[in-house]
Structure 1
Amino acid sequence: MPRRARFVVPDVPVHLVQRGHNKRPCFFNHGDCEFYLHWLEILAKDSSCQVHAFVLMTNHVHFAITPHEHDSLPQLMKSLHQRYAGYINKKYDRSGTLWGGRYRLCIIFDGAYLLTCMRYIELNPVRAGMVQHPRDYRWSSYRVNAEGAQSSFVEPHPLYLSLGENEADRLRNYRQFVAATPDDEVTDTLRRATRSNCIVGDPAGDPALPIPGRKGRPHK
């Protein structure tokens, strides 16, 4: 059976998941995570992608990310994961596949799903029982989006910016959103769409908010 074609729409955010081969670990210590994020920052900018949320789990990664060109996302993921696999193979004297095939994604046309996606991503370590609160997990964007920690590559989407007129209001409102009981139906829709490389929302309708970079380049 042919694989479902993946496509992206410039300036429209996506939820992306990439797992380790056979769900095996792909991050083994803090240094591995630091190496991955260092190159994510460099290559996301080179590829015209904006990262809004992320988490590095032991055997997979999640992003909420907006590509600004048709080839932005495949260019980023190919460069990043080839470089990282080479680093891991050399560091641990291993060979073979690190990543479990192609990444999966869903395109988020409905703005209501974007914040849900960010919450879903940043709560991964809590659902996995690794920490009790998302702030306690070092390798995610929660501290940036919820507590104002500085990041050189996590960039806010207009929907996130609409949470308040100033930073303090946005941070407080986002913390409250993350702490609220998730809508199971919305979360399940997001999961199914990501597994199937599908769309959430209506492409023919108006997005909930203007999408960043309408002219095809990231906002600075």
Structure 2
Amino acid sequence: MARTARIVVPGLPMHVIQRGNNRQQCFRGAADCRRLLRSIQEQAGETGCTIHAYVLMTNHIHMLLTPPDARAIGTLMKSVLQEYTQYFNLKHQRTGSLWEGRFRSSLVQTENYFLVCQRYIELNPVRAGIVTSPADYKWSSYRSNGNGEPDPLLVPHAIYLGLGESDEARRARYRALFSTEIGEHALQHIRDAARSNGALGSTAFIEQIQQRTGRKLRSHRPGRPRKTVQS
């Protein structure tokens, strides 16, 4: 049976998740992490995708990115995953697949949901119990988005830029968002949207995407997250 085409709307951000095959370890050291990030940066330049946030976990990766056209995200992921697998297998003397099938993804509504999703990504190491603060984890975008460390991979989204008029004001406002936990409702909404390759947003947003694409989306726990969850 033919695979269902992924829903991509040029100019709308997407949350992307790629897991290791059988949840196997995909990174065995800093050199591996640097290699994948360099590959993502190169392919982002080639495809025109802009990367807003990311995290590299032991056996999976998350990214928040905006594609310029419907094919860009698929091209980027295919090239990055193939190149990294070849590198990883050669370096670690192994064969076979490294990644679990197709990557998962969801469209992300910019209003009300973008920063929730970005926080979700950067808080992965905290939820996993690896660190107590996202600033303590090296392989994520938080050190740049929250603390201003240079990261050539990242292109800030307009929603993030709107947090303040200056870099410091923006970062301070962004760090303050992390003082509030993401509620369970919002966490499950994010996970369900990505699992079904659907959309993360309000009921109205999902309806707009359906009308625009002519595709039926599965709706999980629709509605706008409470302000206490996202602010």
Q: Same fold (TM over 0.5)?
A: yes
SS in 2 for 1:147: coil
CA contact (8 A) 2:12 2:109 kept: yes
> Residue in 2 aligned with 1:103?
103
Structure 1 length-normalised TM: 0.89
Shift of 1:114: 0.9
> Residue in 2 aligned with 1:72?
72
Give the percent of matched residue pairs that are identical in Structure 1 and Structure 2. 43
Shift of 1:178: 1.9
Q: Provide the rounded CA distance (Å) in 2 between the counterparts of 1:166 and 1:204.
A: 36
CA RMSD of aligned residues (A): 1.5
> Residue in 2 aligned with 1:37?
37
SS in 1 for 2:64: strand
CA contact (8 A) 2:120 2:187 kept: yes
Q: Provide the rounded CA distance (Å) in 2 between the counterparts of 1:158 and 1:19.
A: 28
CA contact (8 A) 2:13 2:65 kept: yes
CA contact (8 A) 1:107 1:199 kept: yes
Q: Provide the rounded CA distance (Å) in 2 between the counterparts of 1:50 and 1:204.
A: 26
- 1:2-57 CA-partner distances (Å, limit 9, x unpaired): 64431211110000000000011111110000111111111111111000000000
Shift of 1:184: 2.4
> Residue in 1 aligned with 2:187?
187
Q: Provide the rounded CA distance (Å) in 1 between the counterparts of 2:159 and 2:110.
A: 11
Structure 2 unmatched ranges of 5 or more:
210-231
> Residue in 1 aligned with 2:124?
124
SS in 1 for 2:154: coil
> Residue in 1 aligned with 2:20?
20
Structure 1 unmatched ranges of 5 or more:
207-220
Paired AA for residue 75 in structure 1: T
> Residue in 1 aligned with 2:149?
149
Shift of 1:120: 0.5
**Cα 1:72–1:33, aligned 2, differ >3 Å: closer, same or farther?**
same
Paired AA for residue 145 in structure 1: N
Task: Say how many residue pairs are matched.
Answer: 206
> Residue in 2 aligned with 1:61?
61
TM superposition outliers: structure 1 runs of 4+ over 2 Å: 1-5, 203-206
Paired AA for residue 162 in structure 1: G
